[in-house]
Amino acid sequence: MRSQLTDYGFQYNKIPLYCDNKSAIALCCNNVQHSRAKHIDVRYHFIKEQVKNETVELYFVRTEYQLADIFTKLLPRERFNFLIDKLGTKSMSPDTLKRLAEETDE
């Protein structure tokens, strides 16, 4: 993760990860293994290890501001447009994309 972000020109001591689940953050930041969490397979503890190694730092973000949702689930148009705006990108219609492609061919 760090090397990819460095390739994009970002430098972080700790990579910020934003999560909309307080329980998941607590599981990753707490070094104590609770009986309620013992069903989680050890291979899913990658983020917990990265937090322990101080490679990543977890932050809570409210669900409506979780930018990753745009890549992982179907969203209502209003929420999709809100997140598109927050990412600094634009949603283009197929006609617009076709017109732009034709302009670059000229």
Kindly report the average pLDDT of the chain as a whole number.
83
How many whole angstroms separate alpha carbon 69 and alpha carbon 28?
20
Q: Which residue has the higher pLDDT, 33 or 5?
A: 5
Q: Which of 31-35, 71-75, 96-100 has the lowest mean pLDDT?
A: 31-35
- Token pair 């090397």: residue: 3
Residue 44 has pLDDT above 80, yes or no: no
The domain limits of the chain are: 1-61, 64-106
Task: Look at residue 4 in the predicted model and tell me its pLDDT.
Answer: 80
Percent of the residues in the chain that have a pLDDT greater than 90, as a whole number? 16
The pLDDT tens digits of the residues spanning 60-87 come to: 999 888 989 989 999 999 998 899 888 8
Task: Look at residue 101 in the predicted model and tell me its pLDDT.
Answer: 86
Query: Whole-prediction pTM value?
Result: 0.64
Residue 105 has pLDDT above 90, yes or no: no
The C-alpha torsion from 48 through 50 and 51 to 56, rounded to 10°, is -130
Beta strands (DSSP E) in 1-106 are 15-19, 56-60
